[in-house]
Amino acid sequence: MQLPSSPAWSFCIKHYLFLKCASDRTLRLFSDGNTGLVFIIKGQLKIRNEEGIDRVLPYAFVYGQLESYQDIKCLADTEILIVVFHPFGFYRLSGLPADEVRGQIIDAQLMYGHQINSLADNLKAAISYTQSILAIEAYFAALFKISANNSDKFGQVVRSIIQIKGQTTIKELTSLTGHSERKLERLFEATIGISPGKYLQIVRLHHFLSLVRSKQKPESLTMAGLESGYYDQAHLIHHFKQTTGLTPTQYLLSANPLAVNLLAVR
């Protein structure tokens, strides 16, 4: 289930996800241009790193911008709560450069201290989704000094990119922002965690995904690709598989999406 943040927190929190996964299922997490804070309410998760070594995930962890898809296994019947930040939300909330957590899954206790354990306990005891959301937002309110102004220029740029489905160029972004290409890249790296070119690719890919999910027909893939700005089918398939680990056809026929960037693959 997906639920919105309160208006006071919409400047950095995009939404909340409350998900369940059966024991021994594998979840595939891939980039959607956002970062998140995950709480394991029940059960246990593990992840396998590039060296093939399994690692049991902490009961609260932060994930930065993903550089490749990650397969996460449920070791028991599992319930998770994900605080999904806007692309620039983690930076605005924590003040930490987003590129410092790029490609990482970090124990939330290392970032927020032992107080995060009290929040995790409150979430496990919560009797409703609303109570969980209130607990999270109360925790952030006590921890951070928040500006009420959420109309910053960079936020407007990101929202413009999403509105036009990522179909713009770096040159057009420099004209929109008044920044040089190099300054624009530094700004994206610090606030979002990836380059503007990479962010445009992710937004365009997720527009393609939304079209594919709405049509649910293999023959619609070519048209969805064209509507998303992919005029080279081979490039689309390569980029899609690099991001999700699946071809578009495999995604459409076999994937079981729990969220826009989270699939139950087996």
pLDDT score recorded for residue 31: 93
Q: Which CATH number fits domain 2-143: 2.60.120.1030, 3.30.460.20, 1.10.3720.10, 3.40.50.300?
A: 2.60.120.1030
CA distance 22 to 264: 10
Q: Compute φ and ψ for 194, nearest 5 degrees.
A: -140, 170
59 within 8 A of 103, measured Cβ to Cβ? no
The dihedral sign for the CA sequence 150, 196, 33, 207:
positive
E strand or H helix at 250: helix 248-254
pLDDT score recorded for residue 59: 95
Residues 41-98 pLDDT 10s: 999 999 977 677 789 999 999 999 998 899 999 999 999 999 999 999 888 888 888 9
Distances (CA, A) of 249 to 104, 115, 217, 244: 29, 45, 9, 12
Distances (CA, A) of 92 to 61, 69, 106, 236, 243: 18, 25, 18, 32, 26
- pLDDT interval class at 146 (50, 70, 90): very low
Identify which of 43-57, 75-89, 136-150, 224-238 has the greatest average pLDDT: 75-89
pLDDT score recorded for residue 168: 92
Check whether 151 has a pLDDT greater than 60. no
Contacts of residue 255, Cβ cutoff 8 Å, sequence gap at least 6: 246, 263, 264, 265
pLDDT score recorded for residue 188: 94
Check whether 182 has a pLDDT greater than 90. yes
What the block records as the tokens of 261 is 């960037």
Q: Give domain limits for the chain.
A: 2-143
CA distance 174 to 159: 15
The whole-chain average pLDDT of the chain stands at 88
pLDDT score recorded for residue 150: 43
CB atoms within 10 A of CB 135: 17
CA distance 78 to 55: 16
